Each structure stands twice: as C-alpha cells, then as structure tokens.
Amino acid sequence: MPFWWHFCRNKSLGHPAVSLLFAECCISTILLAVYETVWQVGVAEMKDVVMTTGGLTVQTDTYHNVVFRDSLKRLFAREGEDGFLGLSSNAMFEVIPSRDIKVAGLLGPAARVDKKSPYVADVEVGLGGTTTWKLCSLDAETSLALLYEITAATNRDAGDAQANSQFFLQFITRYLHWTGELRCRVTTVTRRWIDGSQVGEVITGFDQEAAAVLMGRLATHKMETEEDFDATRWLDRALIRLAQRFGDYRKDDPQSFNLRPELSFYPQFMFHLRRSPFVQVFGNSPDETAYYRMALFRVAVPDAMVMIQPQLSAYHFNGPPEPVLLDVSSILPERVLMLDAYFYVVVFHGTTIAQWRKAEYHLQPEHVAFAQVLAAPQNEAKEIVRRRFPVPKIVDCDHNGSQARFLLVKLNPSSTYTSATPMSAEVINTDDVSLATFTEHLKRLAVQS
C-alpha cells in the first residue's frame, strides 16, 4: 500500500499567449526566451523542458500586460542586503529510506539521475527508477512530492515487528548557494509502523491539505501519461474507498455516516479539485492547462491549496474583513468580496455597493466609511500581487457584470436554475452538482459495503 511524504516550501505563477521561459541549466547557463502569438505559444510542448530545468513560466495576452511586465521585473529583482537573486543552482536531491520502504518516484521540477539503488520500487510514478534527482535551480519555495511503496513482509513475526517499530526517511540536498558556497542539508524524519486495523492511530496526524495537493499532482500526471484516464472517476473512487475505511457508519444507513475530524475537510477539497482547471480542461487551451499544471507541481501546499480551493473574503460595514464560504450564498448587495484564486484576484462589488460607487458617494466627506470599504479589498489585492511571483491578474467587477464570471465559476452552486427553493438571491446557471449533493452521494456510496 503506497504512502507519501510531501517535501515542500512556497512560490507562484499567473495567466495566456505571451510566454516567458526561464531555465537555469546544469552548467549555470541562463536561457531566456520570449514567444508571442495570438493563440498557442508552445508551452504545452515545452512543459518537460521547463520542469526538468527548474524553469518558470508566465503567460499573458500581450507584452504590454502588467502581469508580464511586473513578473519580468521581479524575476531579476535583487533580494536582501547582499543583492543576490536568491536562486541556488546545481542541486542534487537524494532520499534514503529504511528497509521495507522503496521509492516509487517523484513529482516536481526535477530530472532523474541514473543511479542504481536497492531502494527503487518496481512500479514507477512520475520520475521513478532512482532515488536521486537533479534540480538545476533551487530556491526557498521549491516543492517536491515523493511517493513510496511499502514492501514489508506481511508475515513478520511479533519479535521482528517490535524490533522494527521505527522507520526512517532521510533527505539529502546538495546545492550551490547563490553566495558561491557549496552546501549540504540533511533532514531525517522518523515514524513508527502501525497495525492497519488500528484506524484511529493510522489517521492521527493526517494532513488533509497535503493529501489534496498530492492527489492533484497524481491526477494530472495520470491524465498526461495514461490513455483514456478518467480523472474525475479516479478521484471519486479514491474518496469513496477512504470514506469506507475511515468513516463511522452503519451499513446501508447514509444518515449515520460521519468522518473523523482529521478527514472532515478532505471531501470538500476533492469537490473543488474535481472542478479545478487541473482536471477540467474544457474551455482552456493546451498551453493554459500546461501552465496551470506546472504551477501546481512547483508550489508548496499553502499556495497549491489556493489554486484548488480559492479563498473568499467579505468586506462590509459591520466589522473587519472576514473569510466567508466559497458559496453563491456569500454574494450580498451591501458587501464587497475578494477572491484569491492564485492565478487571478477578483474584487467583486455587490449590487448596492456598485450603485453607490457609481453615484460617487465614496468621494463625499460624510461617507468616509464607504470609501474605506471600497479601498480595503483593493489594497489587499495589491498586497497579494506584491508578494506573489509571477503576479496574478486583478479583476475588478460588479454584480451582473461580464467579468463577474471569474468569481461565479469558483463558487459552490448551492442555488441554480434547477433548485426548487433557491438558498440565496443569487442563482448560478449551471448543471454542476453542489457540495451538499456531492456529499450526500459520497455518504450513500460509502455505506454500501
């Protein structure tokens, strides 16, 4: 039974037809190429080149787009007092596991090294067949996902099991620091073997967000390498198996189903992953799809989770900004919403707020509170743009405006045109199922054993 270890940190990317390609080669040569065309620019065909050389990609519709200009400037912006770019190079990443564990592969911006090892699994996933990988460029945000295969003997006697209750995973990273120093960093973690029947202990410490990101990487990898692979069905089956294993329920009684707290948000993450551009490619060009997936494969868990399940915040007159449900019911007339979808940031004005802004009430001294409500999400959006690379696109829109689709496409459609009793004033015209319907189906299928 495979398990995983997510070795990560943090960095970002932005939207399509001008493509900035940056790759640092093993001999420290920098390749900078810019392509411009109306539709396809070849990013999908060059995806492997970018990933194996640790490159960065930025897609915009024109050279004059602020996303392209700011991303290009920030790429060469010097950081800190030392004046370096903060980019290390010529890195080698190696993993050494305990016995009974073999390495199935790696998913991330790296290239495999042909090095024989007794720890290589028979089944390869991603960059497999080795325990050592080359990373041409390396920074504080570089993220890698490793997959393992358990080869422990099932008939291990009790004494042997007691002696081998602990197992270890060691990660060795050697790299050329931007100051010119050769550095080596070693990280060793330990875990203990647990009987599979002890469900409570198995699930303790389960990282729902890391698991969701890994499933996203696995699903997209399978979509690109396996013919006729149905990612949605694969994700659904994996979720049902997990619910059957770790859920509490009575057979054939969906109302009795309950997931443990360590897994309570995981079905919600899978719901949004199924609807994400990583899985649903309809409406996106091959270049856009490749661009989104490259970003997913290199960023750390917090940023990847923003890609999978965007963050929605509400600004109003009744208090400070607050996070709200990623649901159509969060749209209210006297509220400004800010959606961080990683590749773009949306500032959405409710009907009443938009009317007041068009009437220029915010310019009047007696309506300073209204001016603050308008300015707060704009300032937060600019702060997100300032700290993220490549910079995301900012979409400023009103309720019922043409650009509002950037927000609506990410919301849970709890109220649609087919709803008998809409749960909110806003209705999304879609045939997609809501999170509530998805959860009900999960419960019904999980209790059928």
Matching residue, tokens 């099932």? 154
Domain coordinates of the chain in residue numbers? 1-192, 196-309+415-449, 310-411
User: Cα separation of 107 and 440, whole Å?
Assistant: 33
* pLDDT tens figures, 91-103: 999 999 998 899 9
* pLDDT tens figures, 286-311: 999 999 999 999 999 999 999 999 99
Look at strands 344-349 and 393-398 and give their pairing.
Answer: parallel
CATH topology of domain 1-192: Immunoglobulin-like (2.60.40)
Query: pTM, whole model, 2 decimals?
Result: 0.86
Q: In the chain, what percentage of residues exceed pLDDT 70?
A: 85
Matching residue, tokens 């495979």? 2
Confidence class for position 420, pLDDT limits 50, 70, 90: low
Residue 353 has what pLDDT? Answer: 96
What are φ and ψ of residue 407, in 5° steps?
Answer: -85, -50
Residue 102 has what pLDDT? Answer: 95
Q: Which CATH superfamily is domain 196-309+415-449 in?
A: Sec23/Sec24 helical domain (1.20.120.730)
- The 30-36 sheet, strands edge to edge: 30-36, 18-24, 56-60
Are the C-beta atoms of 124 and 105 separated by less than 8 Å? yes
What are φ and ψ of residue 310, in 5° steps?
Answer: -55, 155
Among 39-43, 153-157, 230-234, which stretch is predicted with the lowest mean pLDDT?
153-157
Domain 310-411 in the same topology as domain 196-309+415-449: no
Radius of gyration of the chain (CA): 24
pLDDT of 23 > 90? The answer is no
Neighbours of 358 (CB within 10 A): 10
Please, which contacts does 418-426 make with residues 24 or more away whose CB atoms are closer than 8 Å? 423/329, 424/328, 424/329, 424/331, 425/331, 426/328, 426/329, 426/331, 426/399
Q: Which CATH superfamily is domain 310-411 in?
A: Severin (3.40.20.10)
How distant, in Å, are the alpha carbons of 273, 297, 353, 395 from that of 216?
7, 9, 37, 26
* pLDDT tens figures, 374-398: 999 999 999 999 888 889 999 999 9
User: Cα separation of 21 and 35, whole Å?
Assistant: 9
User: Mean pLDDT over residues 428-433, rounded?
Assistant: 80
Which residues, listed in sequence order, are joined to residue 250 by a DSSP beta bridge? 253
